Structure 1
Amino acid sequence: TGHPSSGAAGVAEGAIANVVVLSITRELGPVLAGLMVAGRVGAAIAAELGTMRVTEQIDALYTMAVNPIQYLVVPRVLAGIIMVPILTIFFTVLGILSSYYVVVIVMGVDAGTYMRNLNQFLKSSDIMIGLVKSLVFGLTITVIACYKGMNASGGAKGVGAATTEAVVSNFIAIFVLDYVLTALMYDGV
């Protein structure tokens, strides 16, 4: 007697979209983007700068009166601050589209109900908080990776150790910062 998405079941299924979209916007988008950048880009930054350190290329920059912080670190940090939020937007949009597909196409919930619930429950503050988190993650990832790479020593083994330290430190920092930022930003919400 009616489609499973009608009545109370339909309300529950419609609420699934709200939970999924809010979790993607607030948590999963920024955290997954941060973890991916930390694992791939953070490791590459630490390895590249570490190799430059142990092969004395950074010392050569000092000799040529080039500030290695301005030349090597600042562009990487700015790139992290810019690109992690962009990647977060991509993940968030992809997550919302995936949620739409599952809820509307697979589960058969009315598209109007989905969009109405989305507009009702997803606030611009949720999007902004996700972007602020990703900006902080981008800054943190690149600063840690640059620090570990610039302070590498001991040849190839030291570069490997610095790269591993950068990735592990970044993963821990992302989870700790996510917890702290969530507690601070949603305390009054």
Structure 2
Amino acid sequence: MTNPPERDNPVTALGRSFLRLLGELGAMFIFMLDGFRHIFASTKQLPKIVNQVYVIGYKSLFVILLIGIFTGMVLGLQGYYTLVKFGSEGLLGAAVALTLIRELGPVLTAIMVTGRAGSSMAAEIGVMRITDQIDALDVMDINPMGYLVSPRIAASLVAFPLLTALFDVIGIIGGYVTGVMLLGINEGVYFHRIATSVELADVTGGFMKSLLFALIVSTVSCYQGYFTHMRRDGMGPEGVSNSTTSAVVMSCVLVLVADYVLTSFLL
């Protein structure tokens, strides 16, 4: 009789998983650099980038505005009933604006675009991989990185800050609707607190986060789709499904981790 294979102890299994994660993050970083390099390879990239700005940015506009208005309204409602306990309800405008501009605007925008456009990137490229369309591009001497990945990375770098700015503005309007129109805070006080509390560094920090999140979401989504055929947990349509799921989950986790790291440096 043959002895059953020995199982790794928990520490070994955890270490192996951690090393595998580090290896995949390193591969994604190299993938991102390669894709970023091809952005400037040819002037023919511009029409592809514009098309992807439409797909990633414009088509995500409705969900961003919808989530933004309700996020601002909830912040206004919760902020009012918190601040009124301390007699500081006049600070509601500053609380809503700073929360949106510093944190919720970039983070929620990235998560919403991940769910709408990031999953689409992973699925589209994954289908092209399993149907040998990417191999066909190689045969026709068309670089797949420059044709598929680079325009999506460049378009994300354009679309994410614009969507974040719209999210911030519509969120502040949502806070105005709740705080001023429904709860009776003075309109002048609301906007005065915003004007005196929000600084250029707050806005710049929010846009820096949105650019970082754009790189993360576009890279992870394209990477998962591009290497669908190398997955261990499924092939064909199942592999595309798993790649799409992995792209969304990993993008959201990395966005939150990057948000904490970047916030610790900006504060």
TM-score (norm 1): 0.91
- Is 1:159 matched up with 2:240? yes
Q: Gaps (5+ residues) in structure 2?
A: 1-82, 230-234
2:98–2:198: 8 Å Cα contact kept in structure 1? yes
**Correspondence for 1:109 among 168, 185, 201:** 185
Q: Structure 2 matches for 1:16-27, cutoff 5 A?
A: 16-27=92-103
Q: Structure 2 matches for 1:67-106, cutoff 5 A?
A: 67-106=143-182
- Is 1:180 matched up with 2:238? no
2:122–2:225: 8 Å Cα contact kept in structure 1? yes
Give percent identity, aligned residues only.
41
2:122–2:224: 8 Å Cα contact kept in structure 1? yes
| Residue identity matched to 2:198 | L
2:122–2:244: 8 Å Cα contact kept in structure 1? yes
Find the aligned partners of 1:14 and 1:180 in 2 and give their Cα distance: 31
2:219 corresponds to which residue? Answer: 143
Find the aligned partners of 1:114 and 1:168 in 2 and give their Cα distance: 37
Find the aligned partners of 2:260 and 2:133 in 1 and give their Cα distance: 38
Find the aligned partners of 2:117 and 2:189 in 1 and give their Cα distance: 40
| Residue identity matched to 2:142 | V
Cα pair distance change 1:74/1:46, threshold 3 Å: same
Runs of 4+, deviation exceeding 4 Å? 8-11
**Correspondence for 2:128 among 32, 45, 52:** 52
Q: Gaps (5+ residues) in structure 1?
A: 1-7
Find the aligned partners of 1:49 and 1:67 in 2 and give their Cα distance: 14
CA offsets, 1:6-33, max 9 Å, x none? Answer: xx96961111221111101111110110
CA offsets, 1:108-140, max 9 Å, x none? Answer: 222221121111111121111111101111111
Find the aligned partners of 2:112 and 2:128 in 1 and give their Cα distance: 24
1:14–1:103: 8 Å Cα contact kept in structure 2? no
Find the aligned partners of 1:104 and 1:144 in 2 and give their Cα distance: 41
CA offsets, 1:40-70, max 9 Å, x none? Answer: 1111100000111111100000000000000
Q: Secondary structure at the match of 2:185?
A: coil
CA offsets, 1:131-156, max 9 Å, x none? Answer: 11011111110001111100002211
RMSD: 1.7
1:125 corresponds to which residue? Answer: 201
Cα pair distance change 1:21/1:11, threshold 3 Å: farther
| Residue identity matched to 1:63 | V
Find the aligned partners of 2:165 and 2:185 in 1 and give their Cα distance: 25
TM-score (norm 2): 0.65
| Residue identity matched to 2:246 | E
Q: Which has the higher contact order (CA 8 A, sep 6+)?
A: 1
- Greater shift, 104-113 or 92-101, is seen at 104-113
1:36 corresponds to which residue? Answer: 112
